[in-house]
Amino acid sequence: MTRDEIFTRVRTTLVDALNVDDNEVTPAARLRADLNAESIDFLDIVFRLEKQFALKIPREDLFPEAIFQGDPAFVANGKITPDGLAELETRMPYADLTEFRKDPKLEKMEDLFTVNLIVTYLESRVGK
Amino acid sequence: MLLKDQVAVVTGGSRGIGKAVVLALAKEGAKVAFVYKGSADAAKTLEGEVATAGGTAKAYQGDVGDPTAGERIVEAVLAEWGRVDILVNNAGVIRDKLFLVMEPDDWNVVINTNLTGVFAFCKAVAKQMAFKQRSGRIINVSSIAAEHVNSGQANYAASKGAINSLTRVLAVELGRRNVLVNAVAPGFIATDMSQAVRNLAGEDNLKKMIPVRRLGTPEDIAAVVLFLASPAAAYITGQVITVDGGLSLGAVSG
C-alpha cells in the first residue's frame, strides 16, 4: 500500500470518527488543536483504523496515553528533559520531533499527533 | 409512541421493578430484550403479556453476577435487532446481615450482581452506543439506601453508592458521543425484594415515614426510567433521580 493510499484511508477514518470535512484532514492537521479530537475520539480512531487496515494496534502504540505520568526523569518544569526526548524517540519512532525539540513543552506534546503521524505509523505497520 | 423502533435491554426484567420497566418501554414501541436468572415461567408470561399488548419483548436467561453475561447477551441482542438504544441495569440482590457476621460470600454475591454486573453490561453496550450509533441511554437502578443507609446493608449500600459514582463518571466520559447515563434511586417499593423489610418494620410504620403515605409501586419507578429513556430527557446526564415519595427527606411527620 502506498503512502497516498494509506492517507486516503486515514482521511476517510477521521472524517467518520470526528465529523470533519475531507478538506480539513490535511497531512499537517493536529488531531486535537485542528480537528477537535478528544480522548474518546482517539479510542474511536484506533478502533476504526484497526478495522480499516485489518491489524491490531497495541494500546501503547500510536496515541500512548499519558506517556510520562509526571516522571521527574522525563519531565521537569513543564518541559521534556533530554532523557524524556530520548524515551519519546524510542516509544514513538514514527513521530517527527524536529520542531518539538526546539521547545519541548509538555503541553505542546499533543501537537505531535498529526494526520501525518498516523500515516507514518501505519506505513511502518502495513509496509509499502 | 416515544420509543418507536428503539431497542432496549433490561436486566432483572421478569419481576418487580424490571417487569414494570419492560412493560413501560414496550408500550412506547421499544423492542425489549430482558434478562432473567431463575424465573423462567415469569419470563415466558411477560413475553406473552407484552405480545398481547401489541409489543415486542424477548427473554434472555443469564446471571448478571456472571461477568461474561453482559457481553454474551448484548451480542445476542445485536445479532437479533442490530442496535441497543437503551440499557436499564435493574438486576439487584440483597443479602442483609450485620457487618460483624457478614461473610465474604455475602459481600461478593451482592457486589458481583449489583455492581460488577452493571460494569459488564455498560462495557458491552458502550462501543456500540458511543462509536457506532453516537447515541444511547443508560439507566442504572440504584437505591436511596446508598445515601440513607440501613443497618445490615453494608454490601448493598456500598454497591448502590458505587453505582451512583459509576453513573457520574460514565456520563462524563460518554457525553461527547451523546450517550446519556443516569440513575434512579427508588425508596420503599412494594416488590418481593422489600418484602422482608416490610414484614419486619410493619407497613403502617413504614408509611408514616413516607410523606405521601404509601409505598412506591414498580410503575412509579418505571415511569421515571421511561422518562430518562425518552426524548424529553435529552439534556439530563450524570444524575441520580430519587423516587421515594419523600422518604429520604427524613422528616418527622404528624
Residues 6+ apart with CB under 8 A from A5: none
Q: Chain-wide mean pLDDT for chain A?
A: 91
Q: Answer whether B123 touches A (CB < 8 Å).
A: no
Three cell numbers written together for B221: 419507578
Residues in chain B: 254
Q: Answer whether B99 touches A (CB < 8 Å).
A: no
Per CATH, which fold does A1-63+113-128 belong to?
A: 1.10.1200
Cα A65 to Cα A58, A105, B212: the distances in Å are: 12, 17, 51
Decide if B13 contacts B38 (C-beta within 8 A).
no
pLDDT digits (tens, 9 = 90+) for B144-188: 999 999 999 999 999 999 999 999 999 999 999 999 999 999 999
Residues of A2-40 as b/e, b for ≥16 C-beta within 10 angstroms?
eeeebbebbbebbbebbebeeeebeeebbbeebbebeeb
Contact criterion met (CB < 8 Å) for B174 and A40: yes
Q: Answer whether B146 touches A (CB < 8 Å).
A: no
pLDDT digits (tens, 9 = 90+) for B192-233: 888 888 888 888 889 999 999 999 999 999 999 999 999 999
Contact criterion met (CB < 8 Å) for B176 and A44: no
pLDDT digits (tens, 9 = 90+) for A25-66: 999 999 999 999 998 999 999 999 999 999 999 988 888 766
Q: What is the pLDDT of residue A65?
A: 67
Q: How far apart are the C-alpha atoms of B125 and B131, rounded to whole Å?
A: 10
CA B221 to chain centre: 9
Task: Indicate the domain borders of chain A.
Answer: 1-63+113-128, 64-112
| A3 Cα to chain B: minimum distance (Å) | 27
**Residue numbers of B annotated as active site:** 156
- What predicted TM-score, i.e. pTM, was given to this entire model? 0.92
Tell me whether strands A79-80 and A75-76 are parallel, antiparallel or unpaired. antiparallel
What is the phi/psi pair of residue B36, to 5°?
Answer: -130, 155
B179, B105, B103: which is closest to B137 by C-alpha? B179
Q: Chain-wide mean pLDDT for chain B?
A: 96
- For residue B127, list chain A residues with Cβ-Cβ distance below 8 A: 47
Q: Please give the residue of chain A at the shortest CA–CA distance from B173.
A: A40
List of domains in chain B: 7-244 (3.40.50.720)
CA B226 to chain centre: 11
Chain A / chain B CB contacts < 8 angstroms = 12
Give me the amino acid identity at A62. Answer: L
